[in-house]
Amino acid sequence: MDSFLTSRIVTDILNGLTNGAIYGLVALSLVLVWRATRVLNFAQGAMPMFATYLGMGLLSYHWPYWVCVGVCLVAAFAIGGVTERVLVRPLYGKPEINPIVVMVGYLIILEAFAAAIWSTTPRSLPAPFSPIDWRLAGQPVGLSPFSLFEVVTALVVMGAIVTLFRFTRLGLQLRASALAPEVSRLLGVRVGRMLTLGWMLSTAVGAVTAILVASNFFTGLTPQLMDGIFAFGFIAAAVGGLDSPVGAVTSGIALGVILQFVGDYLNSNAIILVALVILIVSLMVRPSGLLTRSAARRV
């Protein structure tokens, strides 16, 4: 049993679960802003990155780690709210390409500002838990306390988002504001506030992801921190379905495990190719997402 738990296959599965949890969180943040405002946010990686710089920069002044995390979340809420009010709100009702172009430009601007203010040199962040793998019979298991924390965080955030949208009045208002804003206004829903709140929540979820990624010993905090992660998170969101929080996290975890095996057993250079193939095939089979229900929507 000990040799099995420390085997190459089990190690790949555990490492894949850790990577997949990160992809799932990115996908979840995309799903959150899509369900709340029906906009694809291509700056979903840059906005949390900027918030992470604002909060974690306080570590240099000897602020406690968890206080800095709280500042990151507050900054993420603020960035998400201002972005929706200033950049996105004038684009509602416009052609769908308009928000995409604006958010891609916003991505470039945020990364350029971050590089100008904090430079492109990676900044190491402390991990809240040990990143050293547990050992069994002297052999590494492939799972560390920090890796377990990443997976648990992804599941907890997913559960909170699912609960919000399915079982709360606020979640119902968020969904209704995105799908039927005029009807929602007639029913007394403050649609503008709901749209802003959707962006704020999405950026906060993204900030949690950025903190986890930046705390990785091999990554550090850089202006381009989330670029590659965002690509895989976007694929996970598209495969799972942009209307399914559970599908986003499930697809992200599955994608992480699959790509881990591809990199270990085939070729690490084939990881991106395989991810794109998975995306294309899933869209051909089920364009709305593999885990999105096809039933009529209720709001």
Q: Of the candidates 198, 246, 203, 242, which has an alpha carbon nearest to the alpha carbon of residue 37?
A: 198
pTM of structure: 0.88
Q: What are phi and psi of 119, to 5 degrees?
A: 75, 175
Give residue 216's pLDDT: 77
What average pLDDT does this structure show over 125-131? 86
Q: What is the pLDDT of residues 181-235, one digit of tens each?
A: 788 888 788 888 888 998 999 999 999 999 999 987 667 899 999 998 999 999 9
Residue 38, Ramachandran bin (φ over 0: left; ψ between -120 and 50: alpha; else beta): left
Is residue 45 within 8 A of residue 110, CB to CB? The reply is no
Half-sphere exposure of 144 (CA within 13 A, CB side): 14
Mean pLDDT, residues 74-78 taken together: 96
pLDDT in tens, 229-238: 999 999 999 9
pLDDT for residue 58 is more than 80 = yes
Query: Of residues 147 and 8, which shows the higher confidence score?
Result: 147
Torsion angles phi and psi, residue 123, rounded to 5: -110, 125
Mean pLDDT in residue range 110-130: 91
- Reported as a single tens digit per residue, the pLDDT across 152-183 is 998 898 888 888 888 888 888 887 887 777 88
What pLDDT shows up at residue 118?
A: 94
- Would you say residue 296 has pLDDT above 80? no
Residue 298 above 60 pLDDT? Answer: no
Q: How far apart are CA 47 and CA 67, in angstroms?
A: 20
Fold of 2-285: ABC transporter involved in vitamin B12 uptake, BtuC (1.10.3470)
